[in-house]
Structure 1
Amino acid sequence: MIIKYFSLASIILLFMVGCGKKSGTKDSNVGTTSYLNLEEGSYNIVREKSELKWTGKELSSKTHTGILFLKEGRINIDSNGMIEGKIVIDMTSINVTDLQGEWKDKLEGHLKSPDFFGVEKFPTAFITFQSNKKPNKENKINLDGELTIKDMTHPLSFTADLLHTEPFLKVQAILSFDRSKYDVRFRSGKYFENLGDKLILDDIDIDIILASE
């Protein structure tokens, strides 16, 4: 075990996918700051125990939220406790959670269209990450990496929390990326003028929990 384990990567990202606990148990890290000793090895991300939630906002303060699902991922820990990993995000799984019925279907379809993420042509996105230092006493770790969307790659940096919830090590983080860098232009102030309150903010937040074993 990582203790046997490995919070964009948000964990990148980046993107999403329940993180349930065993019935009648509590997180072993709650109320404590005990240091996690990371065991050397290569570990699979458990899709069903991981989460990828996104938030997008308009200038009018309207907010939309949703989830994404992971296709796969791995985390590697070396003998010095340094971390590196990669997750693959299923962009065809874009799911809107703040709407229902017809409006939900319309927004999901639009987000999957070439106006936004063009998932038919670009069905996956990727987050890679690696640590430059070991976790601190609060089990926080700084990660540098890259986010790839629509075959375009840009650097990404974030701070993650390491959480031990038996039998998983979870990595939890909030990532933010600028969609305009990935040619997602719809109602972006970087590409269009005089949008008024129709402007959609370029920054998209992703709340990530990665569980590995």
Structure 2
Amino acid sequence: MNNKILRSYFILIIAPLFFSCRGAVKDENQKNASVSAVTAGQKYIIDTKESVVTWEGSMLFGFDEQHIGYVYMSNGGLFIEKDQLVGGAVEIDMRTIEYKDKETKNSPVHHLKSPDFFDVEKFPISTFVITGVESVVNQNLKVTGKLTIKGVTNTITFPAKMEVKDGIVTANGKVMIDRTKWGIRYRSGKFYENLADQTVSDDIDLLMKIVAKK
């Protein structure tokens, strides 16, 4: 099993703007919380075929080896009022985690899905619910919301860019989080000593492309 993974980068950035679930969700209360948070504006449904969360990762000292992959959304929603984002929620199906190079990176994917990292059998869905949106300049936004991974919820804020044209919303965003705040401590230098070059970075960059339609 290749442990040279992770600064896990999960393209949730914009995922934060939707809600949904591709498979059966074990915790219905989590889903209901996402739905109830959205109250205003015209709803745009996320196009799951055109939207994707891309992640990139590496060992803390493994600069020479990059890891790139994807994780996918199910049904999600963005709420738009007068061409401005006013809310939204999203559910990310963690069971869909995959590497770009599927043939040679299969074992690391199994590890990412294990209890060491995202424990997808127990926590198949991660969610993001928007709690605030601030217009910065032109199409640039500052989005704040609650990100839930492995049953742990923290507030995050990140920059995003959004455009509404011909009934289609396109959004892109990027955020970096500290995975240990969500209880993912595998080979973290904060909790384990003498890891040397086996230390896994705590930072996770989330990159995202979202397309939503009426």
Q: Per the shorter chain, which TM-score range?
A: 0.7 to 0.9
Paired residue secondary structure (1:49)? coil
Instruction: Give the CA RMSD over aligned residues.
Output: 2.4
Partner residue in 2 for 1:207: 207
Does the alignment pair 1:64 with 2:67? Answer: yes
- Output the CA distance in 2 between the equivalents of 1:184 and 1:113: 11
Deviation readout 1:11-62 (Å, 9 max, x if unpaired): 1459xxxxxxxxxxxxxxxxxxxxxxxxx41111111111100112212213
Kindly state the Cα deviation for residue 71 of structure 1 after the two structures are TM-superposed. Answer: 1.4
CA contact (8 A) 1:188 1:201 kept: yes
Partner residue in 2 for 1:23: none
- Output the CA distance in 1 between the equivalents of 2:12 and 2:58: 21
- CA separation of 1:69/1:108 partners in 2, compared to 1, >3 Å: closer, same or farther? same
- 2:115 partner letter: P
Paired residue secondary structure (1:180)? helix
Does the alignment pair 1:77 with 2:80? Answer: yes
**Larger mean Cα displacement after TM superposition, 53-62 or 80-89:** 80-89
Partner residue in 1 for 2:44: 43
Q: What TM-score do the two structures reach when normalised by structure 2?
A: 0.76
CA contact (8 A) 2:16 2:145 kept: no
Q: How does 1:67-106 map to 2 (within 5 A)?
A: 67-78=70-81, 81-97=84-100, 99-101=101-103, 103-106=104-107
Structure 1 consecutive aligned stretches of length 4 or more whose deviation exceeds 4 Å = 164-167
Deviation readout 1:85-136 (Å, 9 max, x if unpaired): 1110000001012x443x4121011000111100000000001124443462
Q: What TM-score do the two structures reach when normalised by structure 1?
A: 0.76
Kindly state the Cα deviation for residue 79 of structure 1 after the two structures are TM-superposed. Answer: 5.5
**Larger mean Cα displacement after TM superposition, 53-62 or 195-204:** 53-62
- Output the CA distance in 1 between the equivalents of 2:145 and 2:180: 19
- Output the CA distance in 1 between the equivalents of 2:199 and 2:206: 20
Q: How does 1:1-213 map to 2 (within 5 A)?
A: 8=11, 10-13=13-16, 40-59=41-60, 60-61=62-63, 62-78=65-81, 81-97=84-100, 99-101=101-103, 103-134=104-135, 136-137=137-138, 139-164=139-164, 168-213=168-213
- Output the CA distance in 2 between the equivalents of 1:94 and 1:151: 18
- CA separation of 1:49/1:100 partners in 2, compared to 1, >3 Å: closer, same or farther? closer
Paired residue secondary structure (1:194)? coil
Which segments of 5 or more consecutive residues in structure 2 lack a partner in the other structure?
A: 1-10, 18-40
CA contact (8 A) 1:133 1:142 kept: yes
User: What is the total number of aligned residue pairs between the two structures?
Assistant: 180
